A = this chain, B = another copy of it.
C-alpha cells in the first residue's frame, strides 16, 4: 500500500503550512504591507490626511476599484480612518491612525534599506545576467 505517499504527503505538509501561517502574525501582516498599493497609499497619507480623489490623483495609475479595495482593507486593520462629511457632494477624508504612522515608519526603514543596497542588487543582477546570458555566445 501507500501508493498515495508523495501526493498526500505534500497535501498534509500544505495543511500544516497553512496552519503555521495562520498562527504567525508576521506573515499575516507581511502579506498586508506586501501589497503593491498599500505601501503607496500609506506613503501618500504619511504627509497628512487626503480625500478620495486626492489619493486617486496622487497615486496616479490606480483604478477606483483597487483604491477602494485597498482603503477598505486598511481601514479594517486600523491603519487608517475613514471620515464621511455628509455635505451636498459627499466628502470623505482618509487619515492614518497612530498604528498607520508606525507602519509608515517601518516602510521608511524598508525604503532606507532599499536605497542603501540598491547598488549591490543592481550590480549582482547585471553580473548574473551577463554570466548566464552569454557564457558561450559567439
Contact = CB atoms under 8 A, between A and B. Distances in A.
Contacts of A13: 60-61
Contacts of A120: 78, 99
Contacts of A103: 113, 117
Given A29-B121, A76-B125, A78-B124, A61 B14 contact: yes
A83 interface: no
Interface of A: 10, 13-14, 16-18, 25-31, 33-36, 39, 59-61, 63, 75-78, 99, 102-103, 106, 109-111, 113-115, 117-118, 120-121, 123-125, 128-129
Most buried by B among A18, A75, A111: A111
